[in-house]
């Protein structure tokens, strides 16, 4: 029989409401994101959405669009097919992260802990999106070097700013998607259905002016649309660049705030529903 | 002992089971989402992309290409998932414990998806006509249906090959996705074969769908069976090759999986 | 003082099936459960499969909202004060699910230590301590993938202790463990009690409940059939003797005939691969034995004996012949 005592005094970093404090929350999010990366590195499905699919898309887009010349320069194609990859990663990780926990059986343990579920899932999604971004950038840089096609970015600081804001607002969009997917437990196929509509409405590889006018408002409420616009403006430069970037960033900020507020509300509703219907675990 | 009659029964039982699995997995809502909404938006996306890139007059090229591609959703994903799902549900060991004829067991799984794939192509084509006013007035419907049937069968043969992979790897979705996207890019769906670099054209010749799609395009342009029969024979031939490889792989992997005990592992 | 207080809990599961989810199926899992659990005791919840044990546990650990009734744990309402209650309780839902296979045991614990807001300065030490407690120190840095079922279950035990909870909820903690593993698990559970924790456990094994529990509630078909200490429950069958026999292929007809013997009160059967074990409760000691033997004449019988009743027999009587 072991003589190890398990009842040492232990003071948890927990506020009076029963939730973890801010420092502990950030730590938990970091661990969640980091371990998610560790587990993901061996997931082939992720490798597909992050590398194979965007590269095939880029191949297709380059071959189709190379005739457009200055109207749709190479960097626009890179940004557009990059957005295809990031959206794929964001969509599938928002859809699967929560469902994955349910599959593993860990969702119940997480929900019962003093760390709220939303930030944990968001941290995981963030690590997914960040990997798609990094690995895709690396792929394009490599492809450009191998094929000796220069990928020129007109204004590098502006581009970095645009990328940063774009990633942040995409992540907020992901925060909204995760509980939405949890409302319906057949989310796998809904994720499939949502993939292409955003490629279309986001204007990634062709302008949305080609679409019927009534769809434009839908584009305007999607962060991916503005993210693509901001990055494209910074990459191609030109006269109205800063106006375009500031407009996109401003809209992304507003949209992100709305997404986050909705996300908090939805997470609460969904968790309550899952608790009422005994859907946190798998039967 | 297996008589022709029991083999026949195994074939249909296997077909029935995969059909049931299909509908349990895909409830009506999710069936609509992966079989109607997904292909529909894919069609819209590539048609807009294609006409933006190459001009509005080329819309039929993208519409026909993506409609015919719809058979691959069943052929690739549907067929290979029926095997994968059995593995996940742990029914594979029971199946392999039986002396049932593997050839019939194997091909029975594909048959429902061949027809369901035709339905999928039909839905996409209907959308192409309704939304983009695709002109099918010169099309011989029977020849077209036969072409779709053969193309659906040859992609399902590819699906069987992928399905047998799921006996030895848990990452079959990765292969499914990759093959599906290769079809999208290299089988003449969205890029005319002439535009492809030499190495890519070689790959495209080895894929199912390439010739069936070429035949479908000719039929829409007004050709009859007499002009395209050779393409269909070739498409069937490709399908037969994949079926044979798939069947051999299935038998090999079955033995391998039994040895390694990976049938139940998930 | 009562740590857990359950008042008239009902729970009905509603599941939808069929095309477009039209078919509604309702399962009334709990039909008015009330009892209290005292501080520092090991309380056992027994009952056949589907009796509602897991449902009760999930309600108490705030993961399931009951259809009606109320429950408090440590004075907190499990529905309205869930957030405040959660850091104070620990639980294991049984089996090997719920740990990340692609992470090591230590990483699994680190993750949950962070989720529970354990200060980083403390957590490494605590994790090592707990790994040692459950005998996983040497395998702590291996991926959980390679763990046996028992190792995963012990990892769960370490996980549920991380934040030093005052109450532990253990749903079938020894399910699937080998006899040695199960014994180790029981001695750990006793240790947790000695350290001042209250323990609420469910089990199918009567000897386990007998050995561990201060008090036991037997639930059957969603209601409490009995609640007392194992000793008192045994007294409930004190007037009985049990004829236990091992048979190969008993017929339903024969069971019916045994039941017609005047002194027989209950007959229960348990399948043990290939053979069945028949438990016959009788009021007049060995007197029924010859009749039983004559009924079983044409059947192969292994051994047959007469013994004093155990907690299991009390249980059989309470739940009416259902053994799983
Ligand atoms: N999520 C669910 N949806 C629908 N019905 C459920 C659900 N969970 C449990 N049930 C039903 O509720 C009843 C009680 O189940 P519960 O799991 O609480 O029993 P249990 O006593 O833990 O059984 P076991 O000994 O098998 O673990 C059963 O009839 C079961 O089928
Ligand atoms: Mg249970």
Contacts with C26 from chain A: Cβ below 8 Å: none
Contacts with B33 from chain C: Cβ below 8 Å: none
Beta-strand pair C167-171/C89-92: parallel
Length of chain B counted residue by residue: 266
> What is the reported pLDDT for C21?
56
**Do the Cβ atoms of A205 and B49 come within 8 Å?**
yes
Q: Report the neighbours of C using a cutoff of 3 or more CB pairs below 8 angstroms.
A: A, B
> What is the reported pLDDT for B143?
93
Distance CA B245, CA A81 (A): 35
Q: Which of A7, A109, A114 sits opposite C117 (nearest CB)?
A: A114
Residue B1 reports pLDDT greater than 50? no
| Cβ pair A220, A198 in contact under 8 A | no
Å from B27 to nearest chain C CA? 7
**Do the Cβ atoms of C119 and A11 come within 8 Å?**
yes
Residue C321 reports pLDDT greater than 60? no
B85 contacts: CB under 8 Å, gap ≥ 6? B21, B25
Å from A265 to nearest chain C CA? 17
Closest C-alpha residue for ligand 1 atom 29: C50
Of A169-183, B74-88, C303-317, minimum mean pLDDT range: B74-88
> What is the reported pLDDT for B216?
95
> What is the reported pLDDT for B196?
87
Per-residue pLDDT band for C70 (boundaries 50, 70, 90) equals: very high
Closest C-alpha residue for ligand 1 atom 25: C49
Residue A225 reports pLDDT greater than 90? yes
Per-residue pLDDT band for C19 (boundaries 50, 70, 90) equals: low
Of B110 and A276, more confident: A276
Structure tokens given for C228 = 């007392």
DSSP C133: H
Residue A70 reports pLDDT greater than 60? yes
| Cβ pair A237, A79 in contact under 8 A | no
Q: Ligand 1 in contact with C55 (CB < 6 A)?
A: yes
C194 contacts: CB under 8 Å, gap ≥ 6? none
Share of chain A above pLDDT 70, in %: 93
What's chain C's Rg over C-alpha atoms? 22
> What is the reported pLDDT for A8?
67
> What is the reported pLDDT for B92?
57
Per-residue pLDDT band for B265 (boundaries 50, 70, 90) equals: very low
Contacts with C20 from chain B: Cβ below 8 Å: 28-29
Mean pLDDT in residue range B26-54: 84
> What is the reported pLDDT for B2?
44
Of A211-225, B30-44, C67-81, minimum mean pLDDT range: B30-44
> What is the reported pLDDT for C17?
62
Of A98-107, B107-116, B227-236, minimum mean pLDDT range: B107-116
Residue C160 reports pLDDT greater than 70? yes
> What is the reported pLDDT for C20?
56
Q: Which of A44, A56, A207 sits opposite B171 (nearest CB)?
A: A44
**Do the Cβ atoms of C63 and A276 come within 8 Å?**
no
Q: Which of C58, C81, C115 sits opposite A115 (nearest CB)?
A: C115
pTM of the model: 0.83
Q: Which of A189, A206, A211 sits opposite B26 (nearest CB)?
A: A189
| Cβ pair C192, C43 in contact under 8 A | no
C contact set with B (CB within 8 A): 19-20
B28 touching C, CB under 8 A?
yes
Share of chain C above pLDDT 90, in %: 50
Mean pLDDT in residue range C40-55: 92
Give φ, ψ of C84 to 5 degrees: -75, -30
**DSSP bridge partners of C90:** C168
Mean pLDDT in residue range B129-154: 93
All structural domains of chain B with their residue ranges: 4-260
State the greatest distance between any 2 C-alpha atoms of chain C, in Å, as a whole number.
72
DSSP C287: G
Per-residue pLDDT band for B14 (boundaries 50, 70, 90) equals: low
HSE-CB at B171 with a 13 A cutoff on CA atoms is 11
Distance CA A49, CA A139 (A): 13
Mean pLDDT in residue range B107-121: 85
| Cβ pair C223, C245 in contact under 8 A | no
Share of chain B above pLDDT 90, in %: 44
Q: What is the pLDDT of residues C163-180, one digit of tens each?
A: 999 999 999 998 888 888
Q: What is the pLDDT of residues A87-107, one digit of tens each?
A: 988 888 888 888 888 888 899
Q: Ligand 1 in contact with C63 (CB < 6 A)?
A: no
| Cβ pair B30, B124 in contact under 8 A | no
Closest CA to C8 of C213, C223, C186: C223
Residue B5 reports pLDDT greater than 60? no
Å from B10 to nearest chain A CA? 30
Per-residue pLDDT band for B266 (boundaries 50, 70, 90) equals: very low
Helix, strand, coil abundance in chain A, percent, nearest 5 = 75, 0, 20
The per-residue pLDDT of chain B, averaged, comes to 82
| Cβ pair B135, B60 in contact under 8 A | yes
| Secondary structure E strands in C183-320 | 198-203, 215-220, 223-228, 241-248, 264-272, 275-282, 300-307
Residue B79 reports pLDDT greater than 60? yes
Q: How far apart are the first and last CA of chain A?
A: 36
Q: What is the pLDDT of residues A6-28, one digit of tens each?
A: 666 788 888 888 888 899 999 99
In the block, residue with structure tokens 């009076």:
A16
Structure tokens given for C287 = 């007197």
**Do the Cβ atoms of B48 and A59 come within 8 Å?**
no
Beta-strand pair C215-220/C264-272: unpaired
The per-residue pLDDT of chain A, averaged, comes to 87
Residue B35 reports pLDDT greater than 90? no
Q: Report the neighbours of A using a cutoff of 3 or more CB pairs below 8 angstroms.
A: B, C
> Of the spans A60-74, A241-255, B65-79, C216-230, which averages the highest pLDDT?
A241-255
B37 touching A, CB under 8 A?
yes
For the CA of A281, the nearest atom of ligand 1: 1
Cα dihedral A93, C16, B84, B80 sign = negative
Closest CA to C202 of C171, C228, C224: C171
The ligand placed nearest to the CA atom of residue A281 is 1
Contacts with B29 from chain C: Cβ below 8 Å: 20
Q: Which of B30, B48, B190 sits opposite A206 (nearest CB)?
A: B48
CA distance readout (Å), A88 to A6, A29, A141, A256, B50? 45, 22, 20, 19, 21
| Cβ pair C189, C30 in contact under 8 A | no
Share of chain C above pLDDT 70, in %: 96
Contacts with B177 from chain A: Cβ below 8 Å: 45, 48, 52-53
> What is the reported pLDDT for C265?
80
**Do the Cβ atoms of A115 and C65 come within 8 Å?**
no
C182-201 in b/e burial notation, b at 16+ Cβ within 10 A?
bebbbebbebbbeeebbbbb
> What is the reported pLDDT for A239?
87
Per-residue pLDDT band for B19 (boundaries 50, 70, 90) equals: low
The per-residue pLDDT of chain C, averaged, comes to 87
A116 Cα distance to chain centroid: 19
Distance CA C17, CA C15 (A): 7
């Amino acid at each position: 029989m072991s003589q190890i005592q398990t009842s040492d005094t232990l003071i948890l970093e927990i506020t009076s409401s029963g939730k973890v404090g801010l420092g502990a929350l950030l730590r938990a999010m970091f661990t969640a994101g980091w371990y998610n990366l560790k587990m993901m590195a061996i997931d082939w499905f992720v490798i597909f959405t992050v590398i194979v699919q965007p590269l095939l898309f880029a191949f297709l887009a380059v071959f189709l669009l190379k005739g457009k010349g200055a109207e749709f320069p190479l960097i626009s194609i890179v940004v557009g097919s990059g957005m295809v990859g990031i959206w794929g990663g964001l969509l599938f990780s928002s859809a699967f992260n929560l469902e994955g926990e349910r599959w593993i059986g860990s969702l119940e343990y997480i929900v019962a802990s003093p760390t709220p579920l939303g930030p944990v899932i968001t941290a995981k999604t963030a690590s997914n999106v960040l990997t798609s971004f990094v690995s895709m950038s690396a792929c394009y840089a490599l492809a450009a070097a191998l094929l000796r096609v220069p990928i020129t970015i007109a204004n590098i600081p502006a581009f970095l700013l645009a990328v940063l804001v774009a990633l942040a607002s995409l992540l907020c969009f992901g925060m909204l998607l995760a509980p939405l997917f949890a409302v319906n437990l057949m989310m796998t196929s809904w994720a499939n259905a949502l993939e292409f509509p955003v490629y279309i409405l986001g204007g990634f590889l062709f302008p949305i002016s080609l679409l019927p006018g009534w769809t434009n408002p839908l584009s305007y409420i999607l962060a991916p649309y503005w993210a693509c616009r901001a990055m494209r403006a910074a990459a191609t430069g030109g006269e109205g660049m800063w106006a375009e970037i500031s407009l996109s960033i401003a809209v992304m900020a507003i949209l992100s705030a709305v997404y986050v507020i909705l996300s908090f509300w939805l997470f609460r509703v969904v968790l309550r529903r899952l608790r009422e219907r005994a859907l946190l675990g798998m039967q | 002992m297996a008589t022709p009659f029991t083999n026949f029964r195994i074939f249909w039982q296997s077909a029935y089971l995969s059909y049931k699995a299909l509908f349990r997995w895909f409830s009506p809502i999710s069936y609509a989402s992966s079989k109607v909404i997904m292909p529909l938006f894919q069609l819209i996306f590539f048609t807009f992309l294609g006409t933006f890139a190459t001009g509005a007059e080329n819309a039929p090229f993208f519409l026909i290409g993506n409609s015919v591609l719809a058979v691959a959703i069943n052929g690739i994903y549907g067929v290979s998932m029926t095997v994968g799902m059995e593995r996940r549900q742990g029914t594979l060991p029971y199946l392999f414990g039986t002396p049932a004829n593997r050839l019939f067991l194997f091909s029975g799984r594909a048959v429902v998806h061949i027809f369901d794939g035709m339905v999928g192509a039909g839905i996409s084509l209907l959308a192409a006509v309704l939304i983009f006013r695709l002109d099918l007035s010169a099309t011989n419907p029977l020849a077209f249906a036969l072409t779709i049937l053969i193309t659906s069968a040859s992609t399902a043969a590819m699906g069987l090959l992928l399905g047998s992979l799921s006996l030895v790897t848990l990452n079959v979705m990765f292969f499914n996705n990759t093959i599906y996207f290769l079809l999208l890019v290299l089988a003449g769906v969205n890029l005319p074969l002439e535009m492809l670099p030499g190495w890519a054209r070689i790959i495209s010749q080895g894929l199912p769908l390439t010739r069936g799609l070429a035949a479908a395009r000719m039929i829409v342009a007004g050709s009859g069976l007499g002009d395209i029969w050779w393409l269909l024979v070739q498409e069937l031939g490709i399908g037969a090759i994949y079926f044979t490889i798939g069947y051999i792989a299935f038998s090999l992997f079955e033995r391998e999986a039994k040895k390694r005990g990976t049938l139940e592992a998930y | 003082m009562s740590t857990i207080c359950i008042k008239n809990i009902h729970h009905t599961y509603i599941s939808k099936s069929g095309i477009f989810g039209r078919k509604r199926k309702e399962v009334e899992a709990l039909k008015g459960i009330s009892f209290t659990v005292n501080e520092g005791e090991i309380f056992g919840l027994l009952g056949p499969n589907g009796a509602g044990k897991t449902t009760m546990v999930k309600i108490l650990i705030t993961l399931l909202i009951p259809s009606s009734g109320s429950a408090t744990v440590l004075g907190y309402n499990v529905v309205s004060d869930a957030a405040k209650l959660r850091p104070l309780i620990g639980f294991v839902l049984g089996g090997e699910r719920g740990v990340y296979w692609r992470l090591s045991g230590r990483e699994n614990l680190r993750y949950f230590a962070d989720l529970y807001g354990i200060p980083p300065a403390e957590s490494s030490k605590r994790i090592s301590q707990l790994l040692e407690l459950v005998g996983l120190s040497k395998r702590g840095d291996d991926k959980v993938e390679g763990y046996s079922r028992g190792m995963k279950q012990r990892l769960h035990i370490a996980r549920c202790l991380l934040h030093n909870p005052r109450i532990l909820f253990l749903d079938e903690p020894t399910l699937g463990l080998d006899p040695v593993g199960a014994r180790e698990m029981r001695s750990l559970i006793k240790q947790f009690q000695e350290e001042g924790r209250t323990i609420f456990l469910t089990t199918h094994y009567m000897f386990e409940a007998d050995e561990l529990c201060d008090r036991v509630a037997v639930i059957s078909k969603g209601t409490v059939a009995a609640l007392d200490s194992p000793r008192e429950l045994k007294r409930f069958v004190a007037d009985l003797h049990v004829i236990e026999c091992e048979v190969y292929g008993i017929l339903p007809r024969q069971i019916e005939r045994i039941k017609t013997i005047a002194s027989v009160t209950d007959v229960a059967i348990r399948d043990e691969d290939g053979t069945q074990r028949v438990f016959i409760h009788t009021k007049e000691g060995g007197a029924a034995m010859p009749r039983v033997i004559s009924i079983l004449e044409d059947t192969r019988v292994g051994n047959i004996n007469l013994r004093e009743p155990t907690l299991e027999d009390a249980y059989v009587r309470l739940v009416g012949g259902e053994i799983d």
